[in-house]
Structures are given as structure tokens and as C-alpha cells.
Copies of this chain bind each other. A is one copy, B any other.
Amino acid sequence: MHFANIVGGLAGTLTTVAFFPQAIKAWKTRSTKDVSLGMFGLFAAGVFLWIIYGIGIQSVPVIVANTITFVLAVTILVLKIKHK
């Protein structure tokens, strides 16, 4: 179980951190033509539910990781809507 927790923590860190390069790219280039509106809309909605789930099971790592991901996914979504 100890090994699983380390792998799970690393997995969660990677899938959260992954959104930084996309948010930075969209912010810098102001170009989001190839970025899918559907993807980031559905993903932001899903991550919002992960936060609710984290509150429900009282898991601080789930709440923290998904709150960071939510902010980044919404940033990309807003840049997509603004710059097409």
C-alpha cells in the first residue's frame, strides 16, 4: 500500500502539473485555434465534481490537486473563448 501511495501521489502531481504548459502557451501566444473547447469545458466540469468528491470523502490531496487543475483548466477555457 505504501508503494501505491507514492505512485498515486506522483500520478496526481503529473496530471495536475501537465496543465501549466498548456495554460502558459495559450496565455503567451493568444492563439487557441487548435485547442478543443469541448475538452476543456468537459474537463473543468469533471474536475469541479472531483473537488466536490474530495470534500465528500474529506481528502485534502484530492481537494488541493483538483482546485489547482480547475483554475488552470478554466484559464485555458477562458483564453479559448476569448481568442478562438
Contact = CB atoms under 8 A, between A and B. Distances in A.
Interface of A: 1, 3-4, 7-8, 10-22, 24-26, 29, 31-43, 45-47, 49-50, 52-53, 56-57
Nearest to A14: B46
A32 to B, nearest CB: 5
Given A8-B53, A49-B10, A56-B3, A18 B35 contact: no
Given A26-B34, A38-B18, A57-B4, A12 B52 contact: no
Given A11-B50, A47-B11, A56-B7, A34 B42 contact: no
Contacts of A34: 25-26, 29, 31-35
